[in-house]
Chain A
């Protein structure tokens, strides 16, 4: 195997140099062409989507009458309108879930589409949403993937019968024997949270239905894989050729998320067909955070069998992979993409993996940078540290001795991955030396001597790139695979063209979202044709009607560096060979003696014997008759490239899940603040052997970007759900993405690279490595600092402080009442208090049961009618400060004990969200008046819970305060402004005044 320090590419070439990005000029000047920038037809309608405020509920009725009466509103489309024009959207295994991208008769997560309003502009469409009345019957929700498998858990899809939608056990080698014979075993359970990477540009679609040709014509920022194009066409009950999909010049980031735009493409296609107009939908940030995409959260129990030296003989995983309310293609791909790497870069020969694919009342999952790797490596690398601690060994020694030895590549892992190249020990040695590990250990010792909480962590990861299109079939049994037919490979398509005056155009299928693909492809083609990158035009817009594409096309799983570049390289070489043959006739040398340099094609031995590049290219257009005998006219090479190493899953469930495998090694030091629990990254070192580096600037950008994203996942980012299924992180004030001040320094080591023998240029992917290593590297360092095993990310200061602070000081002994509220379960508001009303209990009782008084004391009430015995319907404008919304409330009174107590229960629903709950009110005679005691327990869901979390407790107290203030006024105790005495007492009771 070749081994070079910098790159395997020869001197004088563009590949391997940090060529500046051709993409940046227009982007930095605000001239990018994103979908929302494109001109739209004057008849275009704008869509807005009404979303469920409930985590789980039956839809009893949808009344769009008022919305449709609004001028400018053209249509309100529900699941029942979508149903006849679609079929359920398929996934890679047989199941009974009916998923169409919009709720049919039941909602299963907060944010699920319920109706689509199409109007003359987005403002009117959102006005319409506020007027659509949906009647829900709430159902119990489940959000924990392990609980969801329990017998008493609510079942999301009754037709499916269970929340465990797929379960498979894989055995590679002889794990049972290895565990039985091992001197040591260890077990630990880790939980990986829900998170994503959020792009600047959200989902964007313009869909049109061309009635004459029965054609759906769509432009969207869908990223592929284009296997999902078939899912969309099947869902729309149309031939794939009748779904034309185009992507624009620019897509503003994705990090995987723009795969799962596809259900919305189906919805907007149907909306366009039903309205007879083009329909445009631009997702907003509230929608994006609550309902676009998430990585699956996972609970993993990992067991290891090992000897006295820490050599691991077997691993056993039990995975509970949580995919939210529905599975969307290609889910549950992340866990299967990593199957071949279940033993990371270690020589562990025996393996057992049990995968439970779970549905819960959360947003459905999709692709997120890292795609199954962060979850897997968090478990393995935490376990490697535990093995070292168990034996009293250095964690890095345990890592080193288990890694695949140098010189044994290609290496087949226990689960079938064919690791192509590398020298893992050398990468570690170079990183340890270059990154200053010895100095870091001295810093740790010094910090600890000062009493600080300082720890060091390590992590390794094999970085897969270019997915095998067959790996998802691993979740089927061998028999099911046999019936379905083989699935394997990963085709990349490209064209390189030379026109009549020698201009070179490259077309590819990589659908970039800002990565710099145009720059890199121009470097590759320029090298082959003796031109400069700026001479090459690279067009990566896609059009399924005009481009060569395959099911693997798209931008995901580090596909670009190994595959997209290979296809372009093959096409460029074919163009060069053709031009060399043409030139050789005129130069009177053999084609293999022709070289391309400085826009000239010339005889290698005699540079004076030369022709300009454009003349040779032009000849193929201007004079086909002068071409060598049998040669086709024109210069246009279309290539469809595939890697034969990507074989299908075999009968033993072994699968080479990816084509090329890089290697990453990180170590870091963390310093934890004893007062605040803040984890400060003191020193962080990362190294990546990613084979041939095509453009060092872009490679470094990918590493730094992935590191920033991983810092987010480790310290800040989590989609939080309450136990009741409410969604609590609907804005960037709650879903925290790191900004510049939060980013630690990154020490980036450039280790010796080991080019892949399986890709044309030896390149491997590099964009995901720090998603794999950084979370667990920091977790290992925190475990080292705290001497603690159970480390769950994100490492919020409050969580870490809970681990390190001693028992809390008790309240002062003279403090009369302590208002420590019970721990919160999601967005449940619980509380209680007591207030005094200056009339006797009988009078308070009369006031509370009189609908006319009730209407006057409920804050913001302007309609109240009795709907039955002790049942009321009210319309209230509830709010605090400027935040205000209209709600329809149904309130029921129960357990009435005259003059003593009332039970209350009910639901409220409005554009701001929903709430349901109950409470009790107790009356007792005191000092000639009444002591009114109350307790409440209310669940809040929808927009207000998603965006207003930190205000809700305060808001509840204010509304209750207003209620009693009004009641006291009604009782004649206040007479206008309440007296200072009443007022202060009331505020004190509410906790609003000292």
Chain B
């Protein structure tokens, strides 16, 4: 478990990182917290000619609420976001989901944007971004663009990020009054990859629900005015549509069953905790 040889650049500024990435393109990989990337490099599942470390770029370490959006910089760790004093008030869903992201140790290194870019189908942060309808800000030496969550994650471990771009910030909408948020996941152990994770935002008759761990990316659905029976049918339809898959931890049928059962519970919890 020793990585193949690679070059390392500890970028000191945004420009240095973006310039280097512009030069190296696909030969480079951005290193933030390294909680997924280093393991893959050590196992030689991945190899890269150069790693560009953005961990010491201070201007990219921030959390700020501005104009209805919570913006989290590329260098901000999951632990820093969890410790942000306004989190429970402004982003109750993140406050509920973040403690399930890995462990204290991995959250203290792993970044919010890094998790979004890694795009693991079971991850909690892409799920939250998807259900909240958030955005990712991508920047290259040539310019910047902003993608909606649904356009950013294109599949398993895959995003629309171009080789010369860095995801410099994630934007989560601030919680709206009258909307309830809930999150639950089923794992074998605390901190494991979710077998199924469900997040919901419920406002009046409108239900927005996202499911992680079953398809190759979070699946989002928006339903309005459904009765309880309709809701059960809708979740059953969603479960069958995603299908699920068998692995050593769970069967496809179990995953579908959790979509129905946990889905109903999470939606109900979101409905009852509306502020």
Contact for B254 among A802, A824, A943, CB less than 8 A: A802
The contact string, 1 if C-beta is below 8 Å from chain A, for chain B 177-199, is 00000000010111111010000
Known: A882-B29, A954-B121. A741 touches B252 (CB 8 A): no
Contact for A808 among B37, B189, B237, B253, CB less than 8 A: B253
Interface residues on A, range: 35 or more
Query: Max chain B CB contacts within 10 Å: which of A809, A811, A884?
Result: A809
Chain B residues with Cβ below 8 Å from A805 are 257
Contact for B44 among A126, A797, A812, A881, CB less than 8 A: A126
The contact string, 1 if C-beta is below 8 Å from chain A, for chain B 148-167, is 00000001111000000000
Cβ A823 vs Cβ B246 within 8 A = yes
| CA distance in complex: A12, B1 (Å) | 52
Chain A residues with Cβ below 8 Å from B261 are 675-676
Cβ A801 vs Cβ B257 within 8 A = yes
B14 to chain A, nearest CB (A): 22
| CA distance in complex: A291, B52 (Å) | 35
The contact string, 1 if C-beta is below 8 Å from chain B, for chain A 925-945, is 000000000000000000110
Known: A736-B188, A955-B156. A729 touches B248 (CB 8 A): yes
Cβ B43 vs Cβ A286 within 8 A = yes
The contact string, 1 if C-beta is below 8 Å from chain B, for chain A 275-295, is 000000000111000000000
Chain B residues with Cβ below 8 Å from A911 are 44
Cβ A821 vs Cβ B252 within 8 A = yes
The contact string, 1 if C-beta is below 8 Å from chain B, for chain A 718-743, is 00100000001101011010110110
Is B208 on the interface with A (CB-CB < 8 A)? no
Cβ A675 vs Cβ B252 within 8 A = no
| CA distance in complex: A943, B43 (Å) | 9
Known: A741-B190, A809-B260. A798 touches B43 (CB 8 A): no
Is A991 on the interface with B (CB-CB < 8 A)? yes
Least CB separation from A948: chain B residue: B45
Known: A801-B254, A991-B243. A958 touches B155 (CB 8 A): yes
Is A123 on the interface with B (CB-CB < 8 A)? yes
Is A820 on the interface with B (CB-CB < 8 A)? yes
Chain B residues with Cβ below 8 Å from A284 are 1
The contact string, 1 if C-beta is below 8 Å from chain A, for chain B 232-269, is 01001100110111111111111011101110010000
Known: A741-B190, A808-B256, A954-B216. A881 touches B47 (CB 8 A): no
B156 to chain A, nearest CB (A): 4
Contact for B247 among A736, A884, A949, CB less than 8 A: A949
Is A951 on the interface with B (CB-CB < 8 A)? yes
Cβ A882 vs Cβ B249 within 8 A = no
* Contact residues, B55-101 vs A (CB, 8 A): none
Chain A residues with Cβ below 8 Å from B258 are 675-676
Is B142 on the interface with A (CB-CB < 8 A)? no
Least CB separation from A884: chain B residue: B46
A941 to chain B, nearest CB (A): 14
Chain A residues with Cβ below 8 Å from B122 are 950
Cβ B46 vs Cβ A953 within 8 A = no
Cβ B2 vs Cβ A122 within 8 A = yes
Is B226 on the interface with A (CB-CB < 8 A)? no
Chain A residues with Cβ below 8 Å from B236 are 809, 811-812
| CA distance in complex: A882, B257 (Å) | 32
Cβ B245 vs Cβ A953 within 8 A = yes
Cβ A812 vs Cβ B237 within 8 A = yes
| CA distance in complex: A493, B47 (Å) | 52
Chain A residues with Cβ below 8 Å from B249 are 734, 796, 798, 950
Is A883 on the interface with B (CB-CB < 8 A)? yes
| CA distance in complex: A883, B119 (Å) | 12
Chain B residues with Cβ below 8 Å from A881 are 118-119, 156-158
The contact string, 1 if C-beta is below 8 Å from chain B, for chain A 948-982, is 11110111011000000000000000000000000
Chain B residues with Cβ below 8 Å from A677 are 254
* Contact residues, B181-225 vs A (CB, 8 A): 186, 188-193, 195, 215-216, 219
Cβ B40 vs Cβ A883 within 8 A = yes
Is A239 on the interface with B (CB-CB < 8 A)? no
Chain B residues with Cβ below 8 Å from A285 are 1
* Contact residues, A707-766 vs B (CB, 8 A): 716, 720, 728-729, 731, 733-734, 736, 738-739, 741-742
Chain B residues with Cβ below 8 Å from A729 are 248
The contact string, 1 if C-beta is below 8 Å from chain A, for chain B 14-55, is 000000000000000100000001001001111110000000
Contact for B246 among A734, A824, A957, CB less than 8 A: A824
* Sample of 8 A–B contacts (CB below 8 Å): A123-B2, A123-B3, A676-B186, A676-B261, A741-B189, A811-B236, A954-B155, A954-B216
A residues engaging B (CB < 8 A)? 122-123, 126-127, 130, 284-286, 675-678, 716, 720, 728-729, 731, 733-734, 736, 738-739, 741-742, 796-798, 801-802, 805, 808-809, 811-812, 815, 818-821, 823-824, 879-885, 911-912, 943-944, 947-951, 953-955, 957-958, 991-992, 994
B residues engaging A (CB < 8 A)? 1-5, 29, 37, 40, 43-48, 118-119, 121-122, 155-158, 186, 188-193, 195, 215-216, 219, 233, 236-237, 240-241, 243-254, 256-258, 260-262, 265
Counting from the closest, the 9 A-B pairs by CB-CB distance are A881-B157, A954-B156, A798-B250, A811-B240, A819-B243, A824-B246, A798-B254, A741-B190, A284-B1
